[in-house]
Structure 1
Amino acid sequence: MAIGGIIVVLLLCLLSVVRGEDPYLFFTWNVSYGTLSPLGIPQQVILINGKFPGPNINSTSNNNVVVNIFNNLDEPLLFTWHGVQQRKNSWQDGVPGTNCPISPGTNYTYRFQVKDQIGSFFYYPSTGMHRAAGGFGGLRINSRLLIPVPYHDPEDEYTVVMCDWYTKSHTTLKKFLDSGRSIGRPEGVLINGKNAKGDGKDEPLFTMKPGKTYKYRVCNVGIKNSLNFRIQGHSMTLVEMEGSHVVQNAYDSLDLHVGGCVSVLVTADKEPKDYYIVASTRFTKSVLTGKGIIRYTNGNAGPSSDIPEAPTGWAWSLNQFRSFRWNLTASAARPNPQGSYKYGKIDITRTIRIVNSVKREQGKIRYALNGVSHVDTETPLKLAEYYGVADKVFQYNSIQDDPPASVVNNIEIKANVLNITHRKFVEIIFENPEKSIQSYHLNGYAFFAVAIEPGTWAPDKRINYNALDAVSRHTIQVFPKCWAAVMLSFDNVGMWNLRSMIAENQYLGQQLYISVITPERSLRDEYTMRDEQLLCGIVKDLPRPPPYV
């Protein structure tokens, strides 16, 4: 080859390297208080850039997301990215066990990559009871153009964030919990921060053109109640759940438990007019309902007052869970183990049975997992581990893998940290002996939700597992007096939060952290702590450990 040709080839190679890094998305958020009346009563809410709910993050698989957050509140603040797996990067997870909070009047920049993921997720403030005041919003991860999705491109995509809602401020709710009281029942349900009055003056949340199909990304960002979601007069085709394409069944309504997200396709094939989009509380004595308007672009009439009722009982919801199946033929970013279709044949190396409990002592309520009620430490657990002072802050394996009832019911209050060996395939059983529903979320991972059954778990129950096409997801509900089983490979190094998504349970201790470490301190397994990482507690003035290599 001539010298000129060699130079051209080298230049092209150089350009491919320069252009090889995945795209960056930059956001600047000003977080502040504001006064709104979502349920007709003026109250303090948390705004992001003046918006409630906050702005959507619209990303594509493998994008690098950079969010510079200015905390204009009067309290420390953190944001967590619910469902984003943060590969090798629990530094950016945004929970008290991994990060020092952003002090009032200061800013901090989160940097993370939505690596090998697609789906519908959300973000919210993870400190105190801030989520009860807002600060939440949708987070989309689209499939890259080169990777086909198992349905035709919709006319448009809409984000729906629905939640139960309290008219009391988040500080009042926090005081209730600190004083030993419950936060009680919510006052209503919101859809994208609103509840339609039905007086003919409601502006539509979304519009649809006749004959076109739309994708709705729906998340339950609430703090206590499961919600049933439905669209008046329309069927919904479920296509994605918490990052996984699913077998496309049609549903009249869907139960979404706290922290859960789905994507559905809806075709505008009905009479051209307005229709209600509806969310109702489930498993509650009195049903609260929130509504919004969907408007056909050529519509000329308001919605019917005949709103479809939500189903009753948790057995209906359990049967719906059993209808969810992973779409094994779809091309997409895959959960870990990468591309595994045969998780049911992977040898289980450890079984962890987690039992929730509650106890009142000296007039105060504490919630626990396996007899330990977690308290956040002044020094985040991840920083203590990284700086080599973990023994001064917490103890590993504070709970037993298979605790007897005497341990479960004798609650200790301390940091709850579980150590799991890197790359081990683990089975986790959630048992719920209480009368109320539970919903759990694990940061940093997706797991295979293989079973939910009544009663208590035993090894012979594995015969009831879905060992073929269970949906890979990041939250799991556990109905009253039931158990749920999940399976996953712990291949993501870091300190990861496993928590009840019921806000008062989490705030009063029903959570733990899982430490997945390797002795090599290698960049192959985990990113080095960034120079601008916030420091606090006993590590604030310690010499910085050497970076990973």
Structure 2
Amino acid sequence: MGRVSTFTVAVATTALLMCLWVGVQAEDPYLFFEWNVSYGTISPLGVPQEGILINGQFPGPKINCTSNNNIVVNVFNNLDEPFLLTWYGIQHRKNSWQDGTPGTMCPIMPGTNYTYHFQVKDQIGSFYYFPTTGLHRASGGIGGLQIHSRNLIPVPFDAPADDYSVIIGDWYTKGHKALKKLLDSGRTLARPDGIQINGKSGKVGEQQPVLFTMEAGKTYRYRVCNVGLKTSLNLRIQGHTLKLVEMDGSHTVQNVYDSLDIHVGQCFSVLVTANQEPKDYYMVVSSRFTKHPLTAVGIVRYANGKGPASAELPPPPPETANGIAWSINQFRSFRWNLTASAARPNPQGSYHYGKINITRTIRLVNSRSYVNGNLRYAINGVSHKDESTPLKLAEYYGIHDKVFKYDIIKDEPEAEAEKKVALSPNVVNATFRNFVEIILENHEKTIQTWHLDGYSFFAVAIEPGRWSPEKRKNYNLVDAVSRHNIQVYPGSWAAIMTTLDNAGMWNMRSEMWERFYLGQQLYISVLSPARSLRDEYNLPDDTPLCGIVKDLPKPPPYSIHGT
């Protein structure tokens, strides 16, 4: 069957499948996309190299949707390697089958296609998608995903004159295959070669294309996502302030900043008012906490403006220890907008999360070591490795004991955990609907960023030093932002809290991709005792199977009544 007819069949049948499988209401619209993933020549740093394109584009096509929309994306893999996409920050309620990680799905093999279908249930905000297979993220396959509020739900700011997607990140000119070869040989990645802004990297005084245009007197929304591999970045615009209104899917108290630190994996929305002399201005993106600073600029032009951008760039925040203190203070200034009407995550107790009793505390310590001469990164002494059978499939088929063991790490790391590292699938068994506290403790000299699929969590604290129970007195238990990514500074810890009310198998990981690839990740298994469709969806019929489940009969499906 040819490609057109394949997608036609997918389009014709998906609505029926989704109504039966997802159980959505008829009034929730469907958006359909067909994406072709291929190699092509790109030049983010001005040097031609092989990149991963979606429909011939880098960054890839932007998904614009509305809260509760059903998204259907038919992905054709024209690469020479298996491929998966994850929808970063999308909670996939009851549906880890669509999460797009190696622990939950078999990859899309070369020359084949797979249709993702998921609902952006009760979410708003700025997100993105990217590949999770190998080091593909280093070569592209990345684009913005924007979820707008429904018309009947007021937004806590006036509609902007335009809504811009800003995809930023560090960049290597070697490409994903060369970088993967480096890591597979036991070495580490060198420092990045530069920074890209929407696939470009400009320098002061050089001729370059205009990235964004503004009209004098109007206000614009910039949705900025750091999609890089390892580098925290700072964003600023000459002569303009940034009013923060949303981060990682939550409306925030609208503080005004001269610049913002945006760590790997994080997305911020800022409002920028064109209230300066009509001419060109530089958007500046620079590296943070690195020995060798990197900077890229892009042109923001006033319509009918006259004059080039000034060569004098706004200064970056301080570096060294003072820079970390500056960045921590900025984090502490972020507050959840409790008066905004919008979809809210974790509806059980979202408004008063500080009054919920903690049922479990998990302390996770990251470490760097060598195993058999090869570099590995670990959590509580275990460096995760993927198996040929996705962990979620093994669990669903009732044969997990042939693929992995639960709870090989302890909730409290052992004293020698950072020295003795084991390579194994790392799966934490969790109790459905428990309210958990997770402590992320960083004993290393480099900054870390962490992400949890399937959930938003309350980022209640970041502090220097080691965590202890008495540190809870410093938590923000009122209006910490509900988000899905948090940074942990060198020699520091962070605390997050969430209700495990989304059944499935969910990846918790370092968003620094070298660390993810070399083991700094785990999966949290959240099973509903009822085995009911009210809590978790069945394995979709069109799911490709691999590993030891490939030829096994499918287990009995869940029913609405459960077991």
TM range (shorter): over 0.9
Structure 1 residues 179, 200: closer, same or farther in 2, change over 3 A? closer
Equivalent runs, 1:266-345 vs 2, <5 Å: 266-311=272-317, 312=319, 313-338=323-348, 340-345=350-355
Q: Is the CA contact (8 Å cut-off) linking 1:203 and 1:293 kept in structure 2?
A: yes
**1:120 alignment counterpart:** 126
Deviation at residue 545 of structure 1 after TM alignment:
1.1
1:98 aligns with 2:104: yes
1:460 aligns with 2:470: yes
SS of the equivalent of 1:405 reads: coil
Deviates more, 1:297-306 or 1:509-518: 297-306
Matched letter for residue 433 of structure 1: H
State how far apart, in whole Å, the 2-side matches of 1:340 and 1:59 are: 24
Give % identity.
68
**2:432 alignment counterpart:** 422
Matched letter for residue 531 of structure 2: R
Structure 1 residues 339, 427: closer, same or farther in 2, change over 3 A? closer
State how far apart, in whole Å, the 1-side matches of 2:207 and 2:190 are: 32
Q: Deviations over 1:148-199 (max 9, x none)?
A: 0111111110000100000111111001101111111000000000012444
Deviation at residue 407 of structure 1 after TM alignment:
2.4
State how far apart, in whole Å, the 2-side matches of 1:184 and 1:429 are: 29
State how far apart, in whole Å, the 1-side matches of 2:343 and 2:444 are: 37
Structure 1 residues 271, 335: closer, same or farther in 2, change over 3 A? same
**1:135 alignment counterpart:** 141
SS of the equivalent of 1:173 reads: helix
State how far apart, in whole Å, the 1-side matches of 2:139 and 2:290 are: 22
1:259 aligns with 2:265: yes
SS of the equivalent of 1:27 reads: strand
Deviation at residue 519 of structure 1 after TM alignment:
2.9
**2:485 alignment counterpart:** 475
**2:404 alignment counterpart:** 394
Matched letter for residue 489 of structure 1: T
Deviation at residue 541 of structure 1 after TM alignment:
0.2
**1:443 alignment counterpart:** 453
Root-mean-square deviation (CA, aligned residues, Å) is: 1.2
SS of the equivalent of 1:408 reads: coil
Equivalent runs, 1:127-206 vs 2, <5 Å: 127-199=133-205, 201-206=207-212
State how far apart, in whole Å, the 1-side matches of 2:230 and 2:311 are: 27
The partner residue of 2:49 within 39, 43, 48 is 43
Q: Is the CA contact (8 Å cut-off) linking 1:427 and 1:485 kept in structure 2?
A: yes
Q: Is the CA contact (8 Å cut-off) linking 2:382 and 2:409 kept in structure 1?
A: yes
The partner residue of 2:31 within 18, 25, 35 is 25
Q: Is the CA contact (8 Å cut-off) linking 1:455 and 1:483 kept in structure 2?
A: yes
Deviation at residue 337 of structure 1 after TM alignment:
3.3
**1:12 alignment counterpart:** none
1:360 aligns with 2:370: yes
Matched letter for residue 394 of structure 1: F
Deviation at residue 19 of structure 1 after TM alignment:
8.0
**1:246 alignment counterpart:** 252
**1:212 alignment counterpart:** 218
Deviation at residue 21 of structure 1 after TM alignment:
3.1
Q: Which structure 1 residue ranges, 4+ long, deviate > 6 Å from structure 2?
A: none
Q: Deviations over 1:7-35 (max 9, x none)?
A: xxxxxxxxxx9983300011110000011
State how far apart, in whole Å, the 2-side matches of 1:424 and 1:260 are: 26
SS of the equivalent of 1:132 reads: helix
Deviation at residue 338 of structure 1 after TM alignment:
4.5
Q: Deviations over 1:61-117 (max 9, x none)?
A: 000000000000000000000000000000000000000000001000000000000
Q: TM-score, normalised by structure 1?
A: 0.96
Q: Is the CA contact (8 Å cut-off) linking 1:119 and 1:241 kept in structure 2?
A: yes
State how far apart, in whole Å, the 1-side matches of 2:347 and 2:184 are: 41
Q: Is the CA contact (8 Å cut-off) linking 2:205 and 2:311 kept in structure 1?
A: no
State how far apart, in whole Å, the 2-side matches of 1:24 and 1:112 are: 10
Matched letter for residue 291 of structure 2: K
Structure 1 residues 18, 318: closer, same or farther in 2, change over 3 A? closer
**1:108 alignment counterpart:** 114
Equivalent runs, 1:368-407 vs 2, <5 Å: 368-407=378-417
Q: Deviations over 1:423-442 (max 9, x none)?
A: 00000000000000000000
Deviates more, 1:479-488 or 1:511-520: 511-520
State how far apart, in whole Å, the 2-side matches of 1:377 and 1:180 are: 20
Matched letter for residue 216 of structure 2: P
Q: Is the CA contact (8 Å cut-off) linking 1:200 and 1:302 kept in structure 2?
A: no
Q: Is the CA contact (8 Å cut-off) linking 2:163 and 2:220 kept in structure 1?
A: yes
Q: Is the CA contact (8 Å cut-off) linking 1:438 and 1:479 kept in structure 2?
A: yes
The partner residue of 2:506 within 496, 499, 502 is 496
SS of the equivalent of 2:210 reads: coil
State how far apart, in whole Å, the 1-side matches of 2:500 and 2:206 are: 52
State how far apart, in whole Å, the 2-side matches of 1:468 and 1:124 are: 33
State how far apart, in whole Å, the 2-side matches of 1:474 and 1:392 are: 31
SS of the equivalent of 2:395 reads: helix
Q: Is the CA contact (8 Å cut-off) linking 2:108 and 2:114 kept in structure 1?
A: yes
State how far apart, in whole Å, the 2-side matches of 1:421 and 1:18 are: 26
Deviation at residue 232 of structure 1 after TM alignment:
1.1
State how far apart, in whole Å, the 1-side matches of 2:501 and 2:156 are: 28
Deviation at residue 339 of structure 1 after TM alignment:
6.2
State how far apart, in whole Å, the 2-side matches of 1:465 and 1:245 are: 20
SS of the equivalent of 1:463 reads: helix
Q: Is the CA contact (8 Å cut-off) linking 2:371 and 2:421 kept in structure 1?
A: no
State how far apart, in whole Å, the 1-side matches of 2:33 and 2:75 are: 8
Q: Is the CA contact (8 Å cut-off) linking 1:448 and 1:488 kept in structure 2?
A: yes
State how far apart, in whole Å, the 1-side matches of 2:26 and 2:141 are: 34
State how far apart, in whole Å, the 2-side matches of 1:38 and 1:497 are: 30
State how far apart, in whole Å, the 2-side matches of 1:103 and 1:203 are: 37
State how far apart, in whole Å, the 1-side matches of 2:362 and 2:542 are: 36
SS of the equivalent of 2:417 reads: helix
Q: Is the CA contact (8 Å cut-off) linking 1:56 and 1:139 kept in structure 2?
A: yes
Q: Is the CA contact (8 Å cut-off) linking 2:352 and 2:478 kept in structure 1?
A: yes
State how far apart, in whole Å, the 2-side matches of 1:139 and 1:358 are: 33
In the alignment, structure 1 segments of 5+ residues that lack a partner are 1-16
Deviates more, 1:461-470 or 1:403-412: 403-412
SS of the equivalent of 1:420 reads: strand
Deviation at residue 363 of structure 1 after TM alignment:
2.1
Matched letter for residue 376 of structure 2: R
Deviation at residue 298 of structure 1 after TM alignment:
1.5
Deviation at residue 244 of structure 1 after TM alignment:
0.7
Q: TM-score, normalised by structure 2?
A: 0.93
Q: Is the CA contact (8 Å cut-off) linking 2:58 and 2:199 kept in structure 1?
A: yes
In the alignment, structure 2 segments of 5+ residues that lack a partner are 1-22
Deviates more, 1:216-225 or 1:311-320: 311-320
1:511 aligns with 2:517: no
Deviates more, 1:486-495 or 1:331-340: 331-340
SS of the equivalent of 1:487 reads: strand
1:71 aligns with 2:77: yes
State how far apart, in whole Å, the 1-side matches of 2:383 and 2:217 are: 53
1:411 aligns with 2:424: no
State how far apart, in whole Å, the 1-side matches of 2:506 and 2:374 are: 28
State how far apart, in whole Å, the 2-side matches of 1:369 and 1:309 are: 37
Deviation at residue 200 of structure 1 after TM alignment:
5.5
